Structures are given as structure tokens and as C-alpha cells.
Amino acid sequence: MENMKVFGKAEDYANVDVPLIVTDGKPSSLPKHVLAWRDLSFSVPAKGAGSGADAPRTILLDNVSGFVQSGEMLAVMGPSGAGKSTFLDTLSGRRRGEQYRGSVRLDGTTEFPIRHLSSYVEQDDALFGSLTVSETLYYAARLSLPSSLSYGDVEQRINETLAQLGLSRVADNLIGTPIQRGISGGQKRRVTIGSALITKPVILFLDEPTSGLDSDTTFHVMSSLKNLAKTQNVIIIATIHQPNYDTFSLFDRLLLLARGKTLYCGPVADLPTYCETIYHPIPGFRNPADHVMSIVNPDFVGSAEQADQQISLLVKAWAPKQAELVTDLERREKEANSFRVEATAGDQASMVRKTGYLVARMMLNYRRSLIGYGVRLGMYIGMGLLLALVWINLGTEQEKLNDRISVHFFSVAFLGFMSVAGIPAFLEERGVYLRERHNGLYGPAAYALANSVVTIPFLLICNLAFCLICYWAIGLAPGAGHFFQFFIYLFLALYAAESQSVLIAALIPIFIAALAIAAFANGFWMVVQGYFMRNLPSFWQNSFHYMDFQMYSFQLLMNEDLRGTIWTCGNAPTGACQCNYYSELQEAGICAFRGEDALKALDIYDINYGKWIVILVSISLVLRLAFYAVLKLKH
């Protein structure tokens, strides 16, 4: 028990007053740690192979061992397909399972919360284009730092991070969208890094952090990270592709991989000596990074057999050094046993508070995203104008009844169909969600709840715009009460359709595929709704017809509009009354019928308003719960 270490979360360092920019370069007094990996292996089923225990497998990592300690930067290099990203994902806990072997230890123990102690910067920049740089960092801070931190403390943390990464001048600039010019690609890369640095992690993983940056910006960004590692004892592990000499010199250690095997793992300063021992000395005035990459890249060695032979020779050359590495690793782990991390800060914000921050961020994105939400609002306005101009002032003549029915069908079916326009916005959010969830900022429950809540006011606004334009122009049932019921019943259908679209996009996060399947689903509900075919075959009538949210909304709209109305009929040349629907009015000599008579003839009169509303709400709830389950299990 005396040697047991207590590891805090990343936010345990939140109240440690260490500035991000340090000019004197003094080492930090924070506890030092040693992150080590022993015999790390990872494999996947070979292409075309079965899934049985004896099925052939492709080895992505093959007994990789090494270590890095606090205050150091480790560069992970190798040609394409060397296993760099797999190594980073395995080390960070993102890829584990039956195909994983070996151990990852912090100060000699495997029992440590690496997902809470670390941040991960992915290769792609998943950011909200409608937010500014400072707003992006603000929400990253609020979602990850203790709720006890005041607004002033958070603002100071943001300003320090902006200065660290050279983003102060563009702090109020938008990230940028396809129709809104924003910051450059290199600045976006730095914002992504800043979102991870804002939490002051103990371990920082970076997958190609300099992608998209010019050489000068690359050097300054990596210099900032080097300073961060030294002053705050952060362990930084980064995959990087052929850095220039100045950038390569900033790294303390190098892990060189080829085909998942270790070809070198040690100090960057010892690399020239090692190259001489394997008869590949570094020529004068040549970048060591370029030189070792030319040695280990098997793609330009000639035949596949020659490439395999060269890699095997390099692996054998490193084997004697591997034993020395393991001995050094064990020594450093013993030295680290005297260090202890105590939790000193408050807990992370609760799920409710995180959901609140997610809602606020989504609302801000909704207000500013013209292409994502402004265009969608315009679609509802345009549809309202179309109905108002085509079905203008229908009246209550018998000939207009089918037109009136068509208005309700069109409103439910085609406005629901327009929910597919929300798929691109979700897919943009999904990239941010995956990055932040993998970094432990929040879970699927908070995001699913926030997405469900934020959708409500947006659809209410779109639905209100549609109803205000077309309701009275068409001449539907007069009165505020009737208008409000029409508005609510239509909204319930739109929300169910929106829930269906995000569920499909979560299941199949490919824009064209999700769009096609969502369109098919909406078309399917239109067919089994009962408008086109009054008497559906029993199978469809007794199954999907009663699952159809469009059907419930359509019947509610029809009853709300037609009840209490009188429809006049024409007379035949003989003077006889020609009504399509029988009514007691005709017995009294009045050539007309009531709206209730038409509803009875259409077999949609005897409905339970409350029950139908509950079913509509339940359908949306089931779809939203399924959305949460997909986020939890698939992503």
C-alpha cells in the first residue's frame, strides 16, 4: 500500500498557477511521471479472412516497447503504414480489445485513468465554423474544467492559450464556413491544439499536429509545445511526418516504426551515433529526420523481398539496444515511485451543466450558420408561400374538400421530408462530438439531450413561419385556437421527422447514404399513411400504418380543421342535391354536409386526441433514445 500512487484527473492541475508562456525556461516543480509501454502489439483480421480464432491477421504493431517521461516530447515517425496512428490510438486507450497485447504503464502501474489524464489532438480539424477562436476555447474550457473556476479564471486560461499558440490577433475571428471566410488552415490546426491544451493535460497525444502548417509556423507551434512540456511537466507524444531540422531538434526522444516494428527508440541526440553503428551514418548538412526516413521506407527499395530483408536487418540491429531500453525503463519507473499526484481541484462540471454549455454552443451555431440553418428556415418560408399561393382562399364548396385534405397531407409529408436538410449540420457536429467525447469532455447522454433540446426552438420558429404565411391565406378553420392546434400537431410531426433524420445520420455517417435512406424513409411513411390508398392491405394497415408519425399528425390536422364546418354541394339539372357525403342536413332539405360527415366517411373521425398526441411524443422519444444508443455503442 505504501507504493500505491493516486492519480488525479487532468483537471487536478487546473488550479496550479503556472503561466503558459515562460521565458526563463525553468523546469516545473510538478510531480514527474514515466509513461511506458511493453511488448505492445495490435492486429486486425486480414483482408478477406474469416473471423475465427485461427483466421490470419494483419499485424499493425509488433512488440513495441519504450518510454517517455514528464517534460519530454516524443516524436513517432515512420513511412505510411508503419503503425504510427495505431500506436497513438492504442497508447491513449482508444483501441483496445482482444487484438491488443502488451501493457501501458504510468510509473509502473497499469491502473491509471489515461483517458482522464490525457488529451488527444486528431489529424483533422473538427471545429464549428460559426464560432470565433476565443468562443471555441471558451466552450472547450467550460466542458472540461472544474465548475468551480470563475469566468475570470477561464478567461485568463483562454488568453494564455491564445498567446501560447500565436492566436491572440485572431481571437475574435470566425473559424470559417464554406460561405463565410475565416482563419487560415494553419490557424485552425492551432485552435484544435489549443482546445486540448486548455485543460493542461498530464499527457498530450497529437496525430500530425503540424499538418497544414508552413515550416515557420510549425517550428513556433512545436516550440510552444516544448515549452509547455518543460514548464508544466507534460508528456507530449506526437506523430510527425518528416519535420525540418529545427523542428526535429525540439524533440527529446524518437520512436521509429516500420511495418509495426521498432527500428529505434531513444534520445534524438543519440540518433547520429546509432546510425553509425548500423552502417548508415548521417551525411554532413543533412536533416537526420530525412535520413532515417530514407533508410526505413521500404517502398523505394526495389522488390518486396528486398524491402522485407531491409526491414528485418534494421529490426535485428535494434534488438540488442532493446534490452538496454527495458533496463533503463525499469530504473526510471522505480525512481518515479516516490512521486504522488493528489487531487486538489473540484470535479468536472456535472452532466446537467455540460448539457447547458452544449445547448448554448449549439444555439450560437444555429444563429450564425446561414448555410446550415438560414437556408433551412428559408425552405419553410418558401413552402409556406407555395401553399398560400396555390391553395389560396379555398372556401367551403364540396369541390374544394379534396384540396383541403391535400393541404394537410402536403404540410405533414413534405415539411417532414425537409428534415433531411438537417443531416449536414449533424455530421458537422458529429466530428466535434467524437473529438470531445474521446477526450472525456462529455458523454453521449449530454450530447443527445442537448441536440434534442436545441432542435425544439429551431423547429418551432420554422413551423411558425410556415403557419403564419399559409394558414389564413388558405382559409383553414378560423380562430386562434384552431391555428394553435394546427401549429402544435404539425410541430409534433416535424420533430419526429427530425429525430428520424439524425438517427439515420448517426447510424450511417456518410452524407449521400444518409440523405438517400432518410428520403426513402420519409417516402415510405407517405405511402403507408393512408392518403394515397384509403384501404391499405392488412399487413401494412396493421403494422407500419400505426407506426407512422405522419398518419397521427394528418388525422389530428384533419379533425381540427373539418369539425364544425359546413360544405355546400351543387344541384343536378333535375334539381336533386349532389353531395359526395351523406348528411342529416340533406334530410332537412339543405344541400350540404358537415365536416364530421366527411371524417366519418374517411374513417378518421373516431380518434382520441390525447392518445394520438401521446403516441406522437412517444415516437419521437423512441427515436431519440435510439439516437442516444447509437452514439453510445457505435461512436
Give pLDDT, residue 305.
76
189-217 pLDDT tens trace:
889 888 888 888 889 999 988 877 788 88
Give pLDDT, residue 97.
63
Residue 130 contacts residue 368 (beta carbons within 8 Å):
yes
Query: pLDDT band at 490, cuts 50/70/90?
Result: very high
Q: Measuring CA to CA, which residue among 238, 217, 227 is closest to residue 121?
A: 238
- CA separation for the pair 39, 221 (Å, rounded): 32
435-451 pLDDT tens trace:
888 888 899 999 999 99
381: left (phi over 0), alpha (psi -120 to 50) or beta: alpha
572-623 pLDDT tens trace:
777 788 888 888 898 888 999 999 999 999 889 889 999 999 999 999 999 9
Query: 34-117+203-336 architecture in CATH?
Result: 3-Layer(aba) Sandwich (3.40)
Tell me which amino acid residue 280 is.
H
- CA separation for the pair 597, 618 (Å, rounded): 30
Spacing of C-alpha 506 from chain mean position: 9
Residue spans of the domains in the chain: they are 34-117+203-336, 369-634
Query: pLDDT band at 48, cuts 50/70/90?
Result: low
First to last CA, the chain: 38
40-49, 531-540, 596-605, 614-623: least confident range: 40-49
CA angle 547, 400, 462 (to 5 degrees): 50
CA angle 180, 182, 183 (to 5 degrees): 165
493-517 pLDDT tens trace:
999 999 999 999 999 999 999 999 9
Mean pLDDT of all residues belonging to the chain: 85
- CA separation for the pair 113, 203 (Å, rounded): 11
DSSP for 376-390, written as a single string: HHHHHHHHHHHHHHH
What is the percent of the chain where pLDDT is above 90?
41
Spacing of C-alpha 500 from chain mean position: 17
**Neighbouring C-beta atoms of residue 89, cutoff 10 Å:** 20
Provide the grid cell at 428.
Answer: 458537422
In this predicted model, which residue has the larger pLDDT, 270 or 329?
270
Q: Is 13 helix (H, G, I), strand (E, B) or coil?
A: helix
282-332 pLDDT tens trace:
888 889 998 888 888 776 666 667 777 888 888 888 888 888 888 888 777
What is the percent of the chain where pLDDT is above 70?
90
Give pLDDT, residue 565.
92
